[in-house]
Structure 1
Amino acid sequence: MNEPRPIAHVRFDENNQPIKHWLDDHLRDVATLAEEFAEHFGADWARVAGRWHDLGKFNPEFQEYIRDKTGYERENAHVEKVGRVDHSTAGASYAADKLGVTGRILAYLIAGHHAGLPDWHQELGSGGALKKRLEDKTHLQKAMAVSIPVDILAIPTLQPPAFARQAENFALWVRVLFSSLVDADFLDTERFMDEAKFNQRGQYQSLPRLREVFNDHMNALAVNAKLSRVNEIRADILRQCREAAEKPVGLFSLSVPTGGGKTLSSMAFALDHAVKHEMQRIIYVIPYTSIIEQTAQVFRDIFGDANVVEHHSNTDPDKEDKENVQSRLAAENWDAPITVTTSVQYFESLFAARTSRCRKLHNIVNSVVVLDETQLLPPEHLKPILRVMRQLSAHYRVTQVLSTATQPALKTQLDPFDRVEREGLDDVCEIIATPETLYQQLERVRLELPDDFHTSRNWEELAEELADYERVLVIVSRRQDARDLHALMPKGTYHLSALMCAQHRSQVIEKIKHILKTGGSVRVVSTQLVEAGVDMDFPVVYRAMAGLDSIAQAAGRCNREGLLVDKGKVVVFVPPKPSRGLLGKAAESGVSMLSAFAGQTLESLPPLMFTQYFDQFYNKLNTLDKAGINELLMPDNQLGDCQFRTAALKFRMIEDGDTYTVFVKFDEKAADLLEKLERMGPERWLMRKLQRYTVTLYGYQFRPLLDSQDIREIWAGIYAQNVDTLYDQTLGLKLCNESPSPGDLMW
């Protein structure tokens, strides 16, 4: 009696009749798709991983399980099954048995294609270690007990590319191969299970066509632009970006002062460069969601909603619902021509182990990545980040643009004996011919420094001084400082901090921009969330002492368009309480750089000063790889013994630590959503809508509010505002007290 043909999946038609996805077809189709995705870095490896990834589904126990689970064999529907049947270990074991040490590379991919890339050996108790799983041959034996097509079991000759045989390059290569496999598996399964959804993917305009659209937009801007010195400089920056786009794939820096038009000029470079080198997409990586929303809207206005994916935790689901559904699908794997995402999403994905986070990695290959506000790369993870950046440009055809007004010191540092002290990025091509000259040309402010960097100002005195200005922005580093100063300011002063939910902040920023455009009176007290990229233009800006980059970014909110008859005024002051942690070390380095100019007024901060500042700041830190990521992902022998899952758990750009997310009742919509949450439970669509109504608190802030029942746990691990008076329409979430603590780092 012939065995029934093994199946991979089952769906039901409109008449509730089963339609079977044959397993051999699935394996061949995944292999073909994965091979296509891995064209530039390991097509043969991806093809074999695709053929072997579901070998465990040939196991008769799995076939019985899927028939019973779907219930399409009605006579067996009553049979009870305990849990799933492991179908990933068999293929991993087959690869290791047939290809030896080389096969372990495939074993990582296959064993993890559902649960995520495993560790080689157990470390944090986070899932089964690959070494242990490969010792169990029972899954493979059961799968091989049936007849499997010869072409699927064929043993290839595989050799890792030369660069992947170097220990420091191995882990990223495995993760990108893994991405090719899991995305191919997802897509082939979706093609069978939901063909209508699958067919909505990939319906984008080409980059050459988008470049035409962009050029038309830029030509229209040029025709309507006012004649001004600033616009002349912006036009020259644009020209230099377009000329640099002709250069080979690699690392670039774009050193342009705030207000120099980096957003559009960098897009011009990216489009011209991508078309010139036949690259597949453009990815913008931005540190703050407030800048992302602003930048993504600029791009949508030019290219249309369907060609731009905005991917971050605060994306507005209502806005998404109005866009083409393919934009939402593209957030799963970044296959859109233009993606705008956060630094957290981008870098945590590059170090991820989970399938959903890794799925997009192969689509970073052969792309242009613009890293906006590069100075905000987290110093505690700088070493592993720089290593990945080197590898992307060297081995994966990724052009990376380090775009900022304050370039950090990222070059390799040598000690007096020419030994590497800090490995960095070398061979970075600066797009702007003479950045020093450009900074001089774009001088629009005077920087007034305190007479004594060790004598602080009190808030009462400062508030009285600020009240004399009709339009002024003051930026502080601590949330409590923002509240203390705001309480002393004239009525109507705006407040901005991360104790306000994203929806609240967005509304306030739009109000401020409107008043600035219409010439009204406006005073703002803010934490540093407005510093990088938020398009505000004040005649006067005050900045609490901070790192040199923060001071320069604050200055970028002053006389931004250069329209004042005289230069704008930026005043640096010493706050009553110093910042702590990284912000404190940054401020110390800033004082060190500026103390020689105490009491003076500076016309500019030259680019070289930022390099010196960052070099000093990094040297103050105990480590640039505090989680030991490089060591976890550096096999010390030829066995490829990497700790993928542990590294992913430890690489966190925003520390989980002792923090809690609280849903707040900012407006009627938030209150309605919270009522639905309490009644319906944490359904995914609802949690996404609520994402814009969250505030993150440290434990010392959170626990008193929980004890007093100002907040309460409405579902396991889900906390919400319980008292209507807890959220203030000006200040955001009210706290009992803000004492010096790790909260100083929260902006």
Structure 2
Amino acid sequence: MFIAHIRKSDHVIQTVQDHLEGVAWLARRYGKLIALAAHTELSGLLHDMGKYTEAFTTYIRNAVLYDDVASTKIDHSTAGAKYLYENYYGKDPLQNLVVETVGMAILSHHSGLQNFIQPDTSQSDYIRRVTNVDLPHYQEVVANFEAVSGNVEKVTQLIEEAKKEVEEFMERIKHLNGKERTIHLNYMQKLVFSCLIDADRTDTRCFEEDTEVTLSDHSAVFEEGYKNLMNQVNEWGEAVQPIYKLRNEMSESCDRKADEASSIMTLSIPTGGGKTFASLRYALKHAMQYKKERIIYVVPYTTILEQNATAVRDIIKQPEAVLEHHANVIDDSGLDDEPDYYQEAYHKQLQLGRDNWDYPIIFTTMVQFLDAFFQKGTRKSRRLHHLTNSVIIVDEVQSVPYKHFHLFNTAMNFLQMVGNSSILLCTATQPEVAEMKYKIHLGKNAEIVPDLVKTVDAFKRVSIINKVDKGGWNLEKIASFTEEVMSENQSLLIILNTKSEVRRLYKLLEELNIAEVYHLSTSMCPAHRMEKLDKIRDKLGKERIICVSTQLIEAGVDISFESVIRSQAGLDSIAQAAGRCNRNGEREEGKVYIIRSAEENLSRLPEIRIGGEVLANYILNNEDFDGNYLSPLAIQTYFRHFDAQAGRVIKVVPPPLDCPLISHLNGRHPNAGKASTISKGMFKTVEKHFEAIESPTTSVIVPYAGGEDIIASLNQDLDIKEFSNIMKQAQQYSVNLFDYEIQKLSQNNLLVPLYDNSIYCLTERAYDEDFGVTIDGEGSMMDYNF
């Protein structure tokens, strides 16, 4: 009896054949939704074929039963790929492509995807692995695998079935140009990889937990949610305020569009137009009619995520159906290369316990979405296949990092064309995604808003006043202007571009004592920000109040101030800031003042800096747009000039590479050696150099409110299920910090590592009631003993 796993709790054995068949069964069901069932089943059947040896069985027995983990690793990830290559490669191009696709998924399932060709003339990772003549125990593996009745016949049958899937795949993408077809092939291969990773981890987790593998069906959630949403629509239909009638019209347009087949559409609702509600109405109805697996909201900032997730829970009245995924609290990037039993018990717990997005409705960030496609290793790739056969709503699409627009656009096209997902690109300021070099292939009549110019005029609730001067204003002048504005208003929102300036202005305004002042920034955990926002909402209209915030408050936060002061940034940011002023038409007209802060350091924020320059040069100084800065023509003009200037300034080639990442996926890399395979993907290189944001961050748990209990729980022994639940709760009590902040906190003894430095938490001195994370150790939170 050859062993794949031994359960730690009761020493029950899972045989290699049982594990292979279990993973194959689950992987096929994942792959069926994207017409790649044979590919994914074959990858599951062969992925751990290398465990069919006496050596591996002895190793597992010693590791689990006697805590004797051998120092020598046993490669069990290569055998299945090598077996395919030796027995089925070279027959015909279609079969070769099947062998390459499935083989790459198998040999990469612990290490992350490898390269088919290298960015130089060195040998392909794939060819090097499958032609390895010194692979230990290989002949024993083959003999034992083939000795099981039906295995060889099953492999042959699945290859024939997979060849037909390749033909169908090629038919679906034949209208694309050569570069895009190659990119889609690479994405398809990563999708097969994702199905295998998730099936493998899920089968292993269920064995460890002694539970049955189940397949989710979220249709009842969508039906109940739509019914509850329509009850809300009927209530709002009785409202007499013009703004609510306009919002109802927008949601009705989305409802009609939901009857149409899957495509990529745009929803250019002006700020305050009820975008979240309208897009949810589309998503729920479309998911019901076209049997979609889930609804996924992709948002730029965690603040939008928190509020919109709360709003959706309230509307559908099913709070347990919504997952918020802000960031990875677990820093487990170093675990992907290790086979299960080479890890300590807590490492295995980290690996199996992470979430795979198997929820009806998911809210996640743009960073997490891009990472699912392009981040290295296996931990995020596992989620990729859950983006298929779904409704994907990209909120504030203009916030995609400029340097990654080509990757983002091709990913969108793939998810719709091959992944059968319906995609809604939402924003008040649509970028020219259909005009880019790698453009998004929008559907016919893609814009849902019927008459955009008329709709923008109908939603106008503010006047935008240009106060920008060449020299800019220091903080004292901004504070003085704040006093002037507050002499005519009860509430004011001030948005600056950097956290340091927000904190300094907050302290200055507190000293002036002209109103109650609140501070908001991403230094505060989600639960803390939500509590502050609730306090602000409760006092608006009742007390004099000023909120000083970074741009996190701009998009998606349902809050309304009488006036807004916005530091110079891109037109999209100005539009979002305007959406926090007179949001529900409480007065005849609100006022938004654009200023230029002289003290902001934007050297590390090139998109904000360029956006502000384009705004000043081509919009504010253009008489054609005077008083109408948010017209569709102004937005189109802004993005045309922004794209041109950003293309000259923002580096899209990450050092030390010599060409953009997209060139490593389109088969046109200038320095690559000659391919010895049909596949030309260089995912290992892409993943090594891909960063969704310029400066990567680490998520830390903070001792704020419920965060204290989470930190205490992580100091106890937990089973995988308890650990997974705590990690989901930890999202609300975590903050993302840059490397320099982590280093300083560590130097000041304010950072506590857990789980062998895979999870971090802060001491009470590193968190402040007003500001959140305080790296100087002067936090005001109550004492907490670790």
Secondary structure of residue in 1 paired with 2:434: coil
CA RMSD in angstroms, aligned pairs only: 3.5
Match of 1:7 in 2: 3
The structural deviation recorded for 1:436 is: 1.1
On the 8 A contact 2:329/2:699 being kept in 1, the answer is: no
Matches of residues 119-268 of structure 1 in structure 2 within 5 Å?
119-120=115-116, 129-137=125-133, 138=135, 139-146=137-144, 147-154=146-153, 155=156, 156-157=159-160, 158-159=162-163, 160=166, 161-162=169-170, 166-196=181-211, 198=213, 202=216, 204=218, 206=220, 209-222=223-236, 225-268=238-281
- Does structure 1 residue 731 correspond to structure 2 residue 771? yes
Does 42-51 or 188-197 show the bigger shift? 188-197
Structure-2 separation of matches of 1:694 and 1:701: 14
TM-score by length of 2: 0.80
> In the superposition, relative to structure 1, how do residues 599 and 189 fare at CA in structure 2: closer, same or farther (>3 Å)?
closer
Q: What one-letter code is carried by the residue in structure 1 that aligns with 2:480?
A: E
- Does structure 1 residue 554 correspond to structure 2 residue 568? no
Q: What one-letter code is carried by the residue in structure 1 that aligns with 2:248?
A: A
Structure-1 separation of matches of 2:198 and 2:741: 41
On the 8 A contact 1:309/1:331 being kept in 2, the answer is: no
- Does structure 1 residue 58 correspond to structure 2 residue 63? no
> In the superposition, relative to structure 1, how do residues 604 and 438 fare at CA in structure 2: closer, same or farther (>3 Å)?
farther
Q: 1:23 aligns with which of 11, 16, 20?
A: 16
Match of 2:466 in 1: 449
Q: 1:89 aligns with which of 42, 66, 78?
A: 78
Structure-1 separation of matches of 2:55 and 2:458: 73
The structural deviation recorded for 1:84 is: 4.0
The structural deviation recorded for 1:472 is: 0.6
The structural deviation recorded for 1:510 is: 1.7
Matches of residues 628-667 of structure 1 in structure 2 within 5 Å?
628-635=660-667, 637=675, 638-656=677-695
> In the superposition, relative to structure 1, how do residues 644 and 446 fare at CA in structure 2: closer, same or farther (>3 Å)?
same
On the 8 A contact 1:449/1:599 being kept in 2, the answer is: no
> In the superposition, relative to structure 1, how do residues 332 and 572 fare at CA in structure 2: closer, same or farther (>3 Å)?
same
The structural deviation recorded for 1:56 is: 1.0
Does 568-577 or 551-560 show the bigger shift? 568-577
TM-score by length of 1: 0.84
Match of 1:110 in 2: 106
Does 505-514 or 202-211 show the bigger shift? 202-211
Matches of residues 562-601 of structure 1 in structure 2 within 5 Å?
562-564=585-587, 566-577=588-599, 579-580=602-603, 581-597=606-622
Matches of residues 663-678 of structure 1 in structure 2 within 5 Å?
none
The structural deviation recorded for 1:605 is: 1.1
Q: What one-letter code is carried by the residue in structure 2 that aligns with 1:268?
A: R
On the 8 A contact 2:225/2:317 being kept in 1, the answer is: no
Secondary structure of residue in 1 paired with 2:566: strand
On the 8 A contact 1:287/1:376 being kept in 2, the answer is: yes
On the 8 A contact 1:164/1:170 being kept in 2, the answer is: no
Matches of residues 677-688 of structure 1 in structure 2 within 5 Å?
none
> In the superposition, relative to structure 1, how do residues 600 and 438 fare at CA in structure 2: closer, same or farther (>3 Å)?
closer
On the 8 A contact 1:537/1:558 being kept in 2, the answer is: yes
> In the superposition, relative to structure 1, how do residues 344 and 58 fare at CA in structure 2: closer, same or farther (>3 Å)?
same
On the 8 A contact 2:301/2:365 being kept in 1, the answer is: yes
Match of 1:417 in 2: none
Matches of residues 696-707 of structure 1 in structure 2 within 5 Å?
698=738
Q: What one-letter code is carried by the residue in structure 2 that aligns with 1:140?
A: Y
How far does the alpha carbon of each residue in 1:528-565 deviate from its partner, in whole angstroms, 9 at most, with x for none?
A: 1100111110111111111001011000000000121x
Structure-1 separation of matches of 2:595 and 2:501: 13
Q: Equivalent pairs: percent with the same residue? A: 29
On the 8 A contact 1:447/1:570 being kept in 2, the answer is: yes
Secondary structure of residue in 1 paired with 2:147: coil
Structure-1 separation of matches of 2:242 and 2:687: 48
Structure-1 separation of matches of 2:746 and 2:357: 39
On the 8 A contact 1:207/1:280 being kept in 2, the answer is: no
The structural deviation recorded for 1:720 is: 6.7
> In the superposition, relative to structure 1, how do residues 203 and 240 fare at CA in structure 2: closer, same or farther (>3 Å)?
closer
Matches of residues 274-353 of structure 1 in structure 2 within 5 Å?
274-301=287-314, 302-313=316-327, 332-353=355-376
Matches of residues 336-735 of structure 1 in structure 2 within 5 Å?
336-413=359-436, 421=437, 423-427=439-443, 429-450=446-467, 453-467=469-483, 468=487, 469-489=489-509, 490-491=512-513, 492-516=516-540, 519-564=542-587, 566-577=588-599, 579-580=602-603, 581-597=606-622, 602-603=627-628, 605-621=630-646, 622=648, 625-627=652-654, 628-635=660-667, 637=675, 638-656=677-695, 698=738, 709=748, 711=750, 724=765, 727-734=767-774
Structure-2 separation of matches of 1:277 and 1:664: 42
Structure-2 separation of matches of 1:557 and 1:569: 11
On the 8 A contact 2:619/2:634 being kept in 1, the answer is: no
Structure-2 separation of matches of 1:330 and 1:734: 30
Secondary structure of residue in 1 paired with 2:292: coil
> In the superposition, relative to structure 1, how do residues 346 and 197 fare at CA in structure 2: closer, same or farther (>3 Å)?
farther
The structural deviation recorded for 1:652 is: 1.9
Secondary structure of residue in 2 paired with 1:356: coil
Does 432-441 or 159-168 show the bigger shift? 159-168
> In the superposition, relative to structure 1, how do residues 733 and 368 fare at CA in structure 2: closer, same or farther (>3 Å)?
closer
> In the superposition, relative to structure 1, how do residues 312 and 83 fare at CA in structure 2: closer, same or farther (>3 Å)?
farther
> In the superposition, relative to structure 1, how do residues 217 and 651 fare at CA in structure 2: closer, same or farther (>3 Å)?
farther
Structure-2 separation of matches of 1:735 and 1:537: 32
How far does the alpha carbon of each residue in 1:172-198 deviate from its partner, in whole angstroms, 9 at most, with x for none?
A: 101111122222223333444434374
Secondary structure of residue in 2 paired with 1:196: coil
Structure-2 separation of matches of 1:269 and 1:330: 33
Structure-1 separation of matches of 2:740 and 2:201: 42
The structural deviation recorded for 1:241 is: 0.8
Structure-2 separation of matches of 1:730 and 1:36: 49
Match of 1:742 in 2: none
Unaligned runs of 5+ in 1: 72-76, 317-328, 414-420, 737-747
How far does the alpha carbon of each residue in 1:249-301 deviate from its partner, in whole angstroms, 9 at most, with x for none?
A: 11100010111111111111112222222322211111111111111112222
Match of 2:177 in 1: none
